[in-house]
Amino acid sequence: MKKVIGDRDYIDYLRAFRYPLSGEFAMRTATLPDLRIPSDWGLEIGVLSEAWRNMGPNAVCQVEIADRYDHKHQDLSAEDA
């Protein structure tokens, strides 16, 4: 995407997350009224985008939840390829 649209702070922000589509996130309840939470397939990117829009990139961080945590990676099926 960066090759197509060039340098964008927003793209760098999204690229900073190791697993942006994992569905694992936490936030303070005080931030919820300011966020438009998507109700469709774009939940993870939507929440990150809303955090970017409302609080800026310096208010969001990624943390390790354990020393050894393996996300359940799955191979693509023939239908997905």
List, for residues 17-74, the tens digit of each pLDDT value: 877 777 777 888 888 888 888 887 788 888 888 888 888 888 888 877 777 766 666 7
Nearest to 10 by CA among 63, 41, 56, 54: 56
The distance from CA 71 to its chain's CA centroid, rounded to whole angstroms, is 15
List, for residues 3-20, the tens digit of each pLDDT value: 777 778 888 888 888 777
**Residue 63 burial by Cβ neighbours in a 10 Å radius (0-12, 13-18, 19+):** exposed
